[in-house]
Every structure is written in C-alpha cells, then in structure tokens.
Amino acid sequence: MTTPASVHPRSRSLGAVGLVVAGLLCQDVGASFAVLLFPAVGALGMVALRLTFSAIILLMIARPRLRGYSRRDWVTVALFGIALASMNGLFYEALDRIPLGATVTIEVLGPLVLSVVMSRHASSWLWAVLAFIGVVLLGQGSFGQLDALGVVFAFAAAAAWAGYILLSARTGQRFPRLDGLAIAMAIGAIIALPAGITTAGAGMFLPGNLLLGAAVAVLSSTIPYAFELLALRRLPSATFSILMSLSPAIATTAGLVLLHQKITAIGVIAIALVIIASIGAVRSAATVPRRPADPGPSDQLA
C-alpha cells in the first residue's frame, strides 16, 4: 500500500497545484453567482451568507476538536477568521462597484507582492512594478470608468489576501486536517453576520436567497479554502501566491460568460502584464533556498 511518505515529492506538488487551480475555478464562478444576489441582499449580506453556510458545512465535515490547543494556537486561528471576514467583505464591496476581472486583477497584487518580499531578491521588485503598470492600465478604459471607491476596496482586499495566505499556512501547521479552517470560518461568520443582517434585513432569509447563498458558499469558500489549506501544506507560500496569477484571467472569463461584462484590448494587455509579472516573481522566488530554521507549510503536515 502506498503511504504518504512514499509518494514522490513532484507528484505531491503537482497534486497541490491541481487543488489550487480547481479552487480558483470554483471561486470565480461562485463570485459571478454572488453578483446576482447583490440587488437582493447587498455586498455585506452576501458575505454573511457565504461565510455562515461555509462555516456550517465545514463544521459538519471537520467536527473540529476544541481542546488541547495553546493560547498562541487560538490567537492564530482567530486572526485567520478575522482575515477571512475582512478579505471577503472588502472583495464584495469592490465587486459591487467594479467588474469581476478588474477586482480580481487588483486583488492578486497582494499575493504577488508577498511573493516578491519572500523571494529576498531586490530584482524581484521589477516584477511588482510590471504588475502595477498592468493595474494602471485597468483605469485607461479597459473595463470602462472604474469607480474610485471600488478600486480602494480592491486594493484593501489585496492586502487582506496576503494576510490570509500567511495565516492560512500557520493555521494548517497548528490544527489538523480542516479543523483550523472550520473554526476560522465560524469566527468569520460571527463577525460578518451583524453587518449582513443590518444591511440586508429580512431579504437575506428568503428561501431563494438562502439557496443561492449556500451555492455561492460551496463554490467560493468551502471548496477553494479547503483545497488551498491542503495545498499550502505541500507548497511554499511563495509558490502558492504565484498560482493566484491565474485568477485574473479566470475571473475575467467568468465575468464575460456569466455576467456579460466587457473588456477591451487594453484590459487584456493589463491582465497579461499582471500574469507575466506573477510568473516572473515565482521564478525568482524559486531560486532562493529555504533555510532549515525557516520551515514552510509543507514541512509540518497534519
């Protein structure tokens, strides 16, 4: 019988990459469905529905053990929950104002800059500059006139995403299986519910809205976050971050097909620049040897 220790490292890495890509596909399709709920429940109502249903599903699946953890473990998972709530809230506030492709292209700067910082190569910042040039092009009519507040929310979501990546890896090291993710999702739901109920009111509890909210939760949270947490146990944070470079292209395609959002040739160039910058950054990060005293997510499997 094949044991985890006997699996070739390259096969494990390829499997982890597949998990990340599958998660991205689900996430962007789910985001497209979420836009359909904005008129009924608003951005914050959608966040509350998404996190609440995700928490319920994950708690049922994982049935996390709550005893035997240190204070530092609980601080880590609590911060992870705050990051989840913040990232989702900022993302949907941006998505309520600017197209899906533009939102995700700006948001992916968080993981990209994180990868550049972790690469320890000064030359890697050239890739960050290239990515920012791509983002500047987004405002040159590629998606129409972008709402300024929506752009601010997207940049804030980018910062929250970088924090999510780091805290997700640390949570995966401290909690077995999906326990940490389930607990963090519950914390995020508790944070998001008051604002969601306040803004959406009784409309959030209509059967149709609840059903669509549950579908968005499965596509956008439960499946992607579970896949990402498992992948982060096999991949360095920098490599995981650069795999997010696929997200702008997938999100733009989802916006075109599902939401009929348009993009010009300038928009295609802008997204291509961000993706090229991400690929360049991951190549730079891959040339940096990992120190024995600085273990990554793949060094401590649950």
Which tens digit of pLDDT belongs to each residue from 212-249?
899 998 888 778 877 877 887 777 766 776 676 677 77
Q: 97 — alpha (psi -120 to 50), left (phi > 0) or beta?
A: alpha
Contact 102, 262 (CB under 8 A): no
Q: For residue 5, is pLDDT > 80? A: no
Lowest mean pLDDT among 10-14, 43-47, 217-221: 10-14
- State how far the Cα of 168 lies from the Cα of 73, in Å rounded to an integer: 12
Q: What is the pLDDT of residue 12?
A: 61
Closest by Cα among 224, 203, 295, 262 to 57 = 224
Inside any domain, residue 49: yes
Encode 3-42: b = buried (16+ Cβ within 10 Å), e = exposed.
eeeeeeeeebbeebbebbbebbbbbbbbbbbbbebeebbb
Quick one: what percent of the chain has pLDDT higher than 70? 81
- State how far the Cα of 27 lies from the Cα of 62, in Å rounded to an integer: 21
User: Span 78-94, mean pLDDT?
Assistant: 93
Closest by Cα among 287, 273, 285 to 116 = 285
Closest by Cα among 290, 237, 214, 271 to 99 = 271
Q: Please, how many CA atoms are within 13 Å of residue 59, restricted to the half-sphere of its CB?
A: 14
Inside any domain, residue 47: yes
Inside any domain, residue 207: yes
Inside any domain, residue 300: no
Q: What is the overall mean pLDDT for the chain?
A: 79
φ and ψ of 288, to 5 deg: -95, 115
Indicate the pLDDT class of residue 4, thresholds 50, 70 and 90.
very low
| Residue 42: alpha-carbon gap to chain centroid | 20
In the chain, how many domains are there? 1
Q: For residue 288, is pLDDT > 60? A: no
Contact 32, 255 (CB under 8 A): yes
Q: What is the pLDDT of residue 8?
A: 55
Contact 185, 221 (CB under 8 A): yes
Inside any domain, residue 85: yes
- State how far the Cα of 267 lies from the Cα of 199, in Å rounded to an integer: 33
Inside any domain, residue 298: no
Contact 235, 16 (CB under 8 A): yes
Return the higher-pLDDT residue of 78 and 242.
78
Q: Can you give the residue range of the structural domain that contains 91?
A: 15-292
Inside any domain, residue 103: yes
Return the higher-pLDDT residue of 62 and 295.
62
Contact 193, 48 (CB under 8 A): yes
